[in-house]
């Protein structure tokens, strides 16, 4: 497997199926992608070993588990030193309410996706934890009103 852009058609089909059902049996996977079981398992293992398949996970329903608030937070940093950046990222990685964090270009330095049980819990998190993180200068938040689309599948047919 040379690179992710030169996938064989059978590898692309394997990836499309396992993105939708990571628990599929090798027998069913082989049937769906049109391979016999041994070559299918070998190609799946190659995709895992190459790091193209990073992991398998169960996707949970946050609302059904009591996380009624989802928000996106844009953060600006007041310092750009490596130490401050490193300390900030370590704090983010320790925080379970931050479910996604990206360093971004534009008017802010970071974009975070945060979940909380309610507005009081969100407010407590922001006021008593997030704003105390190393280097945080300013933040702006927007609440999710309705999830229109949330997908974990990559558009393999679009590359």
Q: What is the structure's pLDDT at 88?
A: 96
63-143 architecture in CATH? Answer: 2-Layer Sandwich (3.30)
Q: What is the structure's pLDDT at 157?
A: 86
d(CA 3, CA 145): 39
Domain ranges of the chain: 7-49, 63-143
Q: Which of 41, 35, 36 has the alpha carbon at shortest distance from 53?
A: 41
**Cβ-based neighbours of 83, under 8 Å, separated by 6 or more:** none
What CATH number is given for 7-49 in this structure?
1.10.10.10
Specify the 3-state DSSP secondary structure of 131: helix
Looking at the whole model, is its pTM more than 0.95? no
159 residues of the chain, pLDDT tens digit each: 444 557 899 999 999 999 999 999 999 999 999 999 999 999 999 999 999 999 999 999 999 999 999 999 999 999 778 999 999 999 999 999 999 999 999 999 999 999 999 999 999 999 999 999 999 999 999 999 999 999 999 999 887
């Amino acid at each position: 497997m040379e690179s992710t852009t030169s996938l064989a058609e059978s590898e692309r089909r394997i990836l499309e199926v396992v993105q939708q059902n990571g628990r599929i049996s090798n027998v069913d996977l082989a049937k769906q992608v049109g391979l016999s079981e041994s070559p299918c398992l070998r190609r799946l293992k190659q995709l895992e070993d190459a790091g193209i398949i990073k992991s398998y996970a169960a996707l949970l329903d946050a609302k059904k588990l009591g996380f009624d608030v989802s928000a996106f937070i844009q953060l600006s940093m007041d310092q750009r030193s490596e130490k401050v950046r490193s300390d900030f990222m370590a704090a983010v990685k320790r925080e379970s309410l931050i479910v996604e964090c990206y360093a971004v270009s534009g008017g802010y330095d970071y974009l975070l996706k945060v979940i909380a049980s309610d507005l009081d819990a969100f407010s407590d998190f922001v006021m008593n934890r997030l704003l105390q993180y190393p280097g945080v200068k300013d933040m702006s938040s927007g609440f999710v009103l309705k999830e229109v689309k949330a997908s974990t599948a990559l558009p393999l047919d679009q590359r």
